Amino acid sequence: MDYVAALVPPVVMAIAFTALVVTIIKSQGGANKGKEDAAVDAALARAEAAQQPAEGSAA
């Protein structure tokens, strides 16, 4: 019975990891994809805008 006790935690973790991956994959896209993409694009634009004046003043 020791082998059963030794195998249960890895099996449970494997099942949990698989469920996590499936959930992540299923949540990609969908109705909010455009809104998520727009938020990422806006954050990247803000980061680039904040970086450009600092680079220009150093030169």
Average pLDDT, consecutive stretches of 10 residues, N- to C-terminus, the chain (59 residues): 92 97 85 82 91 62
Number of domains in the chain: 1
For the record, the structure tokens of 8 come out as 């249960």
pLDDT at residue 55, as a whole number = 59
pTM of the model: 0.49
Domain that holds residue 19: 2-58
38, 44, 46, 47 alpha-carbon torsion, rounded to 10°: 160
pLDDT at residue 15, as a whole number = 97
DSSP state of 40: H
CA distance 54 to 58: 6
pLDDT at residue 59, as a whole number = 52
pLDDT at residue 51, as a whole number = 83
Sign of CA dihedral 50, 46, 43, 33: negative
